[in-house]
Amino acid sequence: ALKENKFCWNCTVCESGFVAEPSGHRASDLWALGCIIYQMISGLPPFRASTEFLTFQKILKMDYEFPEGFPSDAKDLVEKLLVLDHTKRLGASDEGDMYESIRKHPFFEGIDWDNVWEQTPPTISPYLPGGTFEEEYRVPDHLEPGLGKNQLIRLWEFDLSTSRG
């Protein structure tokens, strides 16, 4: 059997299994997805500490909290992705590569997966933990949400508009 070795490029998204025994499996991507969703909503990674060593300790202990105001559907999804046992993560036992259990999660309600690249991205509305800022947060005028067709082709290395699912 071919064993694939992987490197965790960012300790804030490394899964607990990677810290203990760095071997790659597809459920590692599910862990990273949970970390990315958490960070996209809160503005911070779920596991934070002053050093990488202490960050890894937090990962191994599953020591993280959700900030006040974190959306409940997003919290539920993140909790189902950040699971120590990689076989129990949402999507880990899905057949094929479409991750139907994740696509059907309430967090993704309203997403037309067959035409996702054609959908209008949501407006940028940053989540500000705590809400104690005196000034109103303003998104710069030149920013546009989402990725254009060329960026998606470059990111995924193929053109989704020609893909048949």
User: Would you say residue 1 has pLDDT above 60?
Assistant: no
Tell me how crowded residue 36 is: count the other CB atoms within 10 A of its CB.
Answer: 17
At 138 the pLDDT is: 55
pTM above 0.75, yes or no: no
Instruction: Look at the chain and count its residues.
Output: 165
Residue 82's pLDDT band, with cuts at 50, 70 and 90, is very high
User: Would you say residue 78 has pLDDT above 70?
Assistant: yes
User: Would you say residue 71 has pLDDT above 80?
Assistant: yes
At 73 the pLDDT is: 97
pLDDT digits (tens, 9 = 90+) for 108-150: 998 889 998 888 887 766 655 555 444 455 556 666 666 777 7
Q: Tell me, what DSSP letter sits at residue 132? A: -
At 83 the pLDDT is: 93
| Dihedral-angle region of residue 102 (phi above 0 means left; psi in -120 to 50 means alpha; beta otherwise) | alpha
- Within 8 A by CB and 6+ apart from 147, the residues are 155
Phi, psi values for residue 113, rounded to 5°: -65, -30
H helix runs in the chain, sequence order: 16-20, 27-42, 52-61, 72-81, 100-103, 149-156
Q: Which residue ranges form the domains of the chain, and what is each CATH number? A: 1-109 (1.10.510.10), 112-165 (no CATH)
User: Would you say residue 31 has pLDDT above 80?
Assistant: yes
User: Would you say residue 11 has pLDDT above 60?
Assistant: no
Most confident option among 22-36, 37-51, 123-137, 139-153? 37-51
Burial of 75 (0-12, 13-18, 19+ CB in 10 A): middle
At 141 the pLDDT is: 65
